[in-house]
Amino acid sequence: MATLESKVPSGPLADKWRKHKADIKLVNPANKRKYDIIVVGAGLAGASAASTLAELGYRVRNFVFHDSPRRAHSIAAQGGINAAKNYQNDGDSVYRLFYDTIKGGDYRSREANVHRLAEVSVNIIDQCVAQGVPFAREYGGLLANRSFGGAQVSRTFYARGQTGQQLLLGAYSALSRAIAEGLVEMHNRSEMLDLVLVNGQAKGIITRDLITGAIERHAADAVIVATGGYGNVFNLSTNAIGCNATAIWRAYKRGACFANPCFTQIHPTCIPVSGEYQSKLTLMSESLRNDGRIWVPKRKEDCAKEPGSIAEADRDYYLERMYPSFGNLAPRDISSRAAKRVCDEGRGVGQGGRGVYLDFADAIKRLGEAMVRERYGNLFDIYHEITAENAYRTPMRIYPASHYVMGGLWVDYNMMSNIPGLFVLGEANFSDHGANRLGASALMQGLADGYFVIPYTIGDYLATQKPGSRPSADGPEFKAAADNVTAITKRLLDNKGRQPVSHFHKRLGKIMWDYCGMARTKAGLEKALQEIPALRQEFWANVRVPGSADTLNQSLEQAARVADYMELGELLCLDALTREESCGSHFREEFQYPDGECKRDDEKFAHVAAWEYQGEGKAPLRNVEPLNFEFVKPSVRSYK
């Protein structure tokens, strides 16, 4: 059984991080250049970590499967990044951001981690401004703010609908500088396919060069994984097609615990599915809910009518009706379930009745089209490109879709997994969001982890490692791991099945969405746990992977990733079945209040479930880390 020691420092909540930084071990500046650190991933968390650690003097190697770090999926984040700056003087504070995040996650996250996140948020904005990130500004020159779901203050900094892109360019510029100065060795088009353990500690990785197919071994003193989430287990999601879970899944199979896999977020503001041909879905930023009003017809018979012909009295602004305190800015999980509820009642609009309106008519009357265009113009352009509809004239149609994951590899307060030497940052870990992530907090966490947390905490581990003691990449552990990767590759290519990889990914996604999507039941999850193993067996018997291993082969890349999703999807459903409560994004229909809200069971489930791999064909072991709430008392989460 794994040891889950959170290493949360003692003392008052507001003093924990400061005290911890004062107490942890340090690495002498002259010794830092004797340590090699591998960073896998170059999105916001990976790029910020790699560049910052390099500036501190460590030798850093950065691996990314993209042709450039600029293609990391962080670039797709649209609406903004949270920080407790209180520029609007509307009552925000570090504590309020901490409280909103704890409550938004339905009391399923560590207090100490969340408070640290709120603390360092105020530094992130200054860091990014110094890098040249073009945040929106008020007329007088101050940085502008807007609101996001789950908050009653304006704390979200933004660059129109391109916030992720601009923040990533800032982090990429810092990384590029480090590369140019020889501080970071960059490995593009290299995918991590295994983690190497030596004497129980993470000491390297195995990669495949996606151009030449070469299997390569890389040794280091510590490994940082910042490869994003596993939302594509649902096939149709807002994630880029290339986003995958292979790095964290292979680490799980080497002993890293996987925490809360069932905490998967459904985003309420997505362009609805339009046909079987789709391979991904497109997000419309949550920021649109600042000025857009969400509604459906009150009567089923009005659903086929043009929206402009439906009288105001015949419209149901259901979020404003159900959650008057927060209205259209209710948190994502609540807003998504509310949309599903009205569509299940037969009042959905568009193809298949799976859509609701996001209407800007009132905002245009109040602000003028020019102002709406200034705030959201590129988002309206995206919508027009995909739907051929003008959202300035007719309401957008939106529906929930798989988006972000709160689960991930278990980490302690230092961001280290239960495997010594393996650190996990950003969406790849489970640490900060509990059962539901508030909008604009993903970018905040990624940059907090990379710029302000890992540069301190990794030293506490490296100080216990003798400089120059890292193992050789020619060692037996590296050879065994490389042989394992080669065997998996050979098995996929040698299979003489008939179906392409996409055939199986689509079927897996349908199982996941139907039985483990927005609403889950015991019967549905049990059915999924029968269908997924059968599908996995069929995959290995009938998948067809053309081409060879010694060249660019995207079918081979996809096949390995979908093979991992087959196993991850089963663990996700098992976790959802075992957690017999509703909390945040995890909604079990058997556990709800009469008004349809989540019914938590704090007595039995106020803990982190961290699953431990036991070997092929064996049931994983469920470890538990209790969540202790010293400073916020869990209560029924209400946004009414």
Q: Rounded to an integer, what is the distance from CA 275 to the centroid of its chain?
A: 26
Nearest to 192 by CA among 38, 399, 10: 38
Task: Please say whether the beta carbons of 198 and 471 come within 8 A.
Answer: yes
Would 13-263+406-462 and 267-402 be classified into the same CATH topology?
A: no
DSSP 360: -
What is the DSSP track for 231-289?
Answer: GGGGSSBSS-TT---HHHHHHHTTT--EE-TT-EEEEEEEPPP--TT-S---B--GGGG
Nearest to 187 by CA among 168, 214, 164: 214
- In this structure, which CATH number among 2.40.160.20, 1.20.58.100, 3.90.1150.10, 3.40.50.2300 belongs to the domain 476-602? 1.20.58.100
Blockwise average pLDDT, block size 10, the chain, 640 residues: 93 96 96 97 98 98 96 93 94 97 97 98 96 93 92 93 95 97 98 98 98 98 98 97 97 98 97 88 93 97 97 98 95 96 97 96 97 93 96 97 97 98 98 96 98 98 95 98 98 96 97 97 98 98 97 98 98 98 98 94 98 96 96 92
Dihedral sign for Cα atoms in the order 547, 548, 554, 557: positive
Query: In angstroms, what CA-CA distances link 73 with 43, 159, 240, 272, 496?
Result: 7, 17, 7, 21, 33
Tokens coding 155: 């704390």
Query: In angstroms, what CA-CA distances link 268 with 334, 337, 357?
Result: 9, 8, 11
Cα angle value 58/59/65 (rounded, 5°): 120
Domain 13-263+406-462 has CATH 3.50.50.60: yes
DSSP 451: I
Question: Checking DSSP bridges between strand 258-259 and strand 315-316, what pairing results, if any?
Answer: unpaired
Q: Which residues contact 498 (CB under 8 A, 6 or more apart)?
A: 542, 544
Nearest to 565 by CA among 285, 98, 124, 239: 239
Q: pLDDT (tens digit, 9 = 90+) per residue, 336-376?
A: 999 999 999 999 999 899 999 999 999 999 999 999 999 99
Query: In angstroms, what CA-CA distances link 501 with 96, 233, 563, 572?
Result: 46, 13, 9, 21
- pTM comes to 0.97
In the block, tokens 């927060």 appear at: 326
Task: Please say whether the beta carbons of 328 and 396 come within 8 A.
Answer: no
Q: How high is the pLDDT of residue 236?
A: 96
Residue 366: burial class (beta carbons within 10 Å; 0-12, 13-18, 19+): exposed
Written out in words, the top-level CATH class of the domain with range 267-402 is: alpha beta
Q: Rounded to an integer, what is the distance from CA 602 to the centroid of its chain?
A: 25
Helices assigned H by DSSP within 131-185: 163-180
Question: Checking DSSP bridges between strand 36-40 and strand 59-63, what pairing results, if any?
Answer: parallel
Q: How high is the pLDDT of residue 60?
A: 98
Q: How high is the pLDDT of residue 40?
A: 98
Task: Please say whether the beta carbons of 308 and 314 come within 8 A.
Answer: no
Domain ranges of the chain: 13-263+406-462, 267-402, 476-602
Rounded to the nearest 5°, which phi and psi values hold at 297?
A: -65, 150
In the block, tokens 């590759």 appear at: 489
Rounded to the nearest 5°, which phi and psi values hold at 33?
A: -75, 0
Q: How high is the pLDDT of residue 640?
A: 86
Residue 137: burial class (beta carbons within 10 Å; 0-12, 13-18, 19+): exposed
Spatial distance between the Cα atoms of 224 and 240, rounded to a whole number of angstroms? 22
Q: How high is the pLDDT of residue 1?
A: 82
DSSP 472: P
- In what side-by-side order are the strands of the sheet with 184-187? 184-187, 59-63, 36-40, 222-225, 422-424
Task: Please say whether the beta carbons of 357 and 343 come within 8 A.
Answer: no
